[in-house]
Amino acid sequence: MRTLLALVSGIILLCGCSTTETSLYSWYDYEGATYRYSKKATPELRDKLLQEYRRIIDRQHGVRRTVPPGMYAEYGFLLYRMGYPEEGIPYLKEEIRLYPESETYLSRIIKQLEKK
């Protein structure tokens, strides 16, 4: 599961993390929060990561004014891993709605998670 989180995180980082006024998305402290949690996965750092994801989802000031690619997926998967599948899976599905190109990858993950 950690590998999946790292893979999704890597994809998001490759999508552009520019901090200029013309950046497509607002990333805030995504990189720092994700790095800290990947180094030491404590409940406290997990909660901070969850808060950072929520901030990114709720406060988009980038040019596109929409949630960055992969963010709903990461947030949903983290909620699922925390024991909240009824809250997490809808975020994975929202990722597919917002970014249809993710459907092939995420639909398989959703199927596996819904079987458990």
The predicted pLDDT at position 7 comes to 54
CATH number for the domain spanning 70: value is: 1.25.40
How do residues 71-91 score in pLDDT, each as one tens digit?
999 999 999 999 999 999 999
Which of these ranges, 22-31, 77-86, 97-106, has the smallest mean pLDDT? 22-31
Structural domain boundaries enclosing 15: 2-115
Considering its fold, how many domains does the chain have in total? 1
Q: Of the candidates 83, 59, 85, 84, which has an alpha carbon nearest to the alpha carbon of residue 71?
A: 59
Q: Of the candidates 63, 62, 65, 90, which has an alpha carbon nearest to the alpha carbon of residue 75?
A: 90
pTM as predicted: 0.78
How do residues 38-69 score in pLDDT, each as one tens digit?
999 999 999 999 999 999 999 999 899 999 99
Q: What average pLDDT does the segment 21-26 reach?
A: 84
Examine the pLDDT at 19 and tell me if it is beyond 60.
Answer: no
